Amino acid sequence: MIEKVLENLIKKALESLGIEGAETLNVSLEHPEVMAHGDYSTNVAMVLAKKMGENPRELAGKIKEEMDSVLQRNDRGENMIEKIEVAGPGFINFYLAKKVFENGVGEILKDGNQYGRNNILDGQRTIIDYTDPNPFKDFHIGHLMSNAIGESLSRIMEANGAIVKRANYQGDVGIHVAKAIWGAFKMLNESECKKAFFGGWFGLGKNSKIWGQAYTLGAIAFETDENAKKEITNLNKKIYDRSDGKINKLYDIGRKTSLEYFEKIYKILGTKFDYYFFESEVDDLGKAIVLEAMAKGYFEKSDGAVIFRGEKYDPLLHTRVFISSQGLPTYEAKEIGLTKEKYRRFAFDKTIAVTGNEINDYYRVVKKAMEFTIPDLASKVVHIGHGMLRLPSGKMSSRTGQVITGESLLTEIQKNILEKMRDRMMSKKEKTQIAEIVAVGALKYSILKQAAGGDIIFDFDKSISFEGDSGPYLQYSYVRAKSVLEKAKDENVKAKINKGDSDGSVLEKMLLRFTEVVERAGREYSPHYLAIYLTELASAFSTFYAEGKIVDKTDAKSPYKIALTQAFSVVMKSGLNLLGIKVPEKM
């Protein structure tokens, strides 16, 4: 890679200047913010000047002269650097030779959809769990956040050489289930509600939305009615024990209905999980691990419950309950059991959980507890917390029934896109298929374009715009490139790269950065780097497209322009795929 070539060149120059520690120096290389200032820049002179007590710009000049000398001694004609300049207080800027860009475009065309893939995580066994909707509750827009980030991260890690397994951890037991079952019983017992169930028990297996209503009914009653709270608490114990046939029947119907409904949404979103983990499978395991650790003094009894005092080990942590006073494992204990079960099924090197950041503090305590309960796995656990997805109307809440479901949001986006496509000469079926692809792309891009952690206000107009900072804009740029390539095919002008074709355009420079962006996104678990890059790449292509005819038999450089267009289409499609976004062939 070019970065390695530049790093070696810098170190050779430093060694020639007799600067101590040159071999082990960590050389920082960045892209200048303004492309006219070069392709790469280093602040190595300023770092060393501070240690050596020298003027940084003067030292940069010496390093630059020595690098020029090294390049001149290379008589094999393989230099990748056109020139080196000193800028500002001591930056050293590198300008790449035009052949680097020509070779890069050729490499993209040769590698196709494999371009950008690397082996920096070669063989790392990684399990990523994300989405995690709970049966008996709605699939809300928060689950869309987790799914978009988790799916993209899975693809990026795979592109960096990791062996990735996708996991989905779902709460099929717990107080939320008891609330839903309690609510369902109430609705079944009220004559006016029976019609909503399409015939009582049978209808419960046909309408997943009813379970969201049942949960809301139970959740409100749990907080406002002491008798209902006692009933739900007792019901929760029976669900764990599987001790009541009538409850079991209702539970089994609700669980199956919810999970089947979730699968329909996963298909729309382009996610297919390798593993499904359920709280009912890991609760006993987590409880046993906690009780064993309690015997060693890491946990203690308090008012009948088993607790972990996190503040004993870190003042930023707090106390959490791991086993309730009823003897039931809490989410915390189950999390430990889950990690153990994950490893049993897939001996991971890294396990990554993508969740809402409202449990960040919870997860820190659990990770500390893991150091004492499953120390061999604790260091392999990574938690990525994301913000809330909000509409301008505000935050949703499944407890109060103010829920914006994932399905309803996608449907609304799709309706808006169909309206924009109203005058397009396509069949209704074709418009619907394209609108679904574009709707999912619009949503995912809106989520992935910023770093995980902050809340996102979903703006309908901006998200579905075919211009600017949006998923449809990126998809449209790909479609536009494909139409150019179709025209080239019709006019029999073929892609070709000749020496001297490159003019060092912004598009050429951007294309060559794809691999390093994929690497960075994988190293830092941050898909937003890729989303930002693709937006800049699309902008560069838009400028290139507007500068003049691409397909022109009378233009000697037309074959190279077509090669550039083809390279852009490859990188854009590959990049969008890593974000989990499909590309339509026309829009």
Segment 561-583, tens digit of pLDDT: 999 999 999 999 999 999 999 99
CA distances from 387 to 248, 348, 392, 523, 580 (A): 36, 27, 15, 21, 19
Q: Are 160 and 202 in contact (CB under 8 A)?
A: no
Mean pLDDT of 419-444: 92
- Who wins on pLDDT, 460 or 436? 436
Per-residue confidence (pLDDT) for residue 470, from 0 to 100: 95
CA distances from 522 to 28, 162, 180, 573 (A): 19, 10, 39, 18
**CA-closest candidate to residue 353, choices 345, 344, 362:** 362
Q: Name beta bridge partners: 126.
A: 164, 350
Mean pLDDT of 91-96: 96
Q: HSE on the CB side for 328, CA within 13 Å?
A: 17
Angle at which helices 428-448 and 471-490 cross, to 10° = 130
Mean pLDDT of 77-82: 75
Compute the distance between CA of residue 101 and CA of residue 123 in angstroms, rounded to an integer. 31
Kindly report, as residue ranges, where domains of CATH 1.10.730.10 are found in the chain.
Answer: 420-578
The alpha carbon of residue 56 and the mean position of all alpha carbons in its chain are separated, in whole angstroms, by 40
Q: Are 140 and 404 in contact (CB under 8 A)?
A: yes
Per-residue confidence (pLDDT) for residue 202, from 0 to 100: 47
The whole-chain average pLDDT of the chain stands at: 91
- Annotate 131-163 with b (16+ C-beta within 10 A) or e (fewer): bbbbbbbbbbbbbbbbbbbbbbbbbbbbbbbbb
Q: Is the pLDDT of residue 200 over 60?
A: no
Per-residue confidence (pLDDT) for residue 204, from 0 to 100: 58
Cβ count near 122 (within 10 Å): 10
- Who wins on pLDDT, 211 or 23? 211
Kindly report, as residue ranges, where domains of CATH 3.40.50.620 are found in the chain.
Answer: 130-390
Compute the distance between CA of residue 491 and CA of residue 502 in angstroms, rounded to an integer. 23
Across 45-59, 304-318, 558-572, least confident range = 45-59
Per-residue confidence (pLDDT) for residue 398, from 0 to 100: 44
Mean pLDDT of 482-497: 96
Q: Which residues contact 408 (CB under 8 A, 6 or more apart)?
A: none
Q: How confident is the model at residue 102 (pLDDT cuts 50, 70, 90)?
A: very high
Per-residue confidence (pLDDT) for residue 394, from 0 to 100: 54
Q: Phi and psi (nearest 5°) for 466? A: -85, 5
Q: Is the pLDDT of residue 461 over 90?
A: no
Per-residue confidence (pLDDT) for residue 206, from 0 to 100: 62
Q: What is the dihedral of CA 36, 37, 38, 44, to 10 degrees?
A: -170
Q: Are 523 and 465 in contact (CB under 8 A)?
A: no
Q: Specify the amino acid at residue 545.
A: Y
pLDDT digits (tens, 9 = 90+) for 355-369: 999 999 999 999 999
> Which of the listed ranges 196-205, 405-414, 458-467, 558-567 does the model predict with the highest average pLDDT?
558-567
pTM for this entry:
0.92
Query: If you classify domain 420-578 with CATH, what class do you get?
Result: mainly alpha
Q: Cα dihedral sign for 253, 257, 259, 260?
A: positive
**Tokens read off for 86:** 């000193």
Transcribe 8-33 into DSSP letters: HHHHHHHHHTT-TTTTT----EE--S
Q: The tokens 């602040």 sit on which residue?
A: 43
Mean pLDDT of 26-31: 91
Q: Max alpha carbon distance in the chain (Å)?
A: 92
Q: How confident is the model at residue 74 (pLDDT cuts 50, 70, 90)?
A: low
Cβ count near 3 (within 10 Å): 11
Using alpha carbons only, what angle is made at residue 413 by residues 407 and 417, rounded to the nearest 5 degrees?
Answer: 140
Per-residue confidence (pLDDT) for residue 318, from 0 to 100: 97
Proportion of the chain above pLDDT 90, given as a percent: 77
Across 43-57, 68-82, 373-387, least confident range = 68-82
Q: Is the pLDDT of residue 171 over 80?
A: yes
- Who wins on pLDDT, 544 or 213? 544
Q: Are 7 and 27 in contact (CB under 8 A)?
A: yes
Q: Which residues contact 142 (CB under 8 A, 6 or more apart)?
A: 356, 388, 389, 396
**Tokens read off for 470:** 């949006």
Kindly report, as residue ranges, where domains of CATH 3.30.1360.70 are found in the chain.
Answer: 2-96
Q: Is the pLDDT of residue 510 over 50?
A: yes
Q: Name beta bridge partners: 41.
A: 30, 93
CATH of 2-96, one of 3.30.1360.70, 3.40.50.800, 2.120.10.30, 3.40.50.300: 3.30.1360.70
CATH of 130-390, one of 3.40.228.10, 3.80.10.10, 3.40.50.620, 3.10.450.50: 3.40.50.620
pLDDT digits (tens, 9 = 90+) for 387-410: 998 877 655 444 444 568 899 999
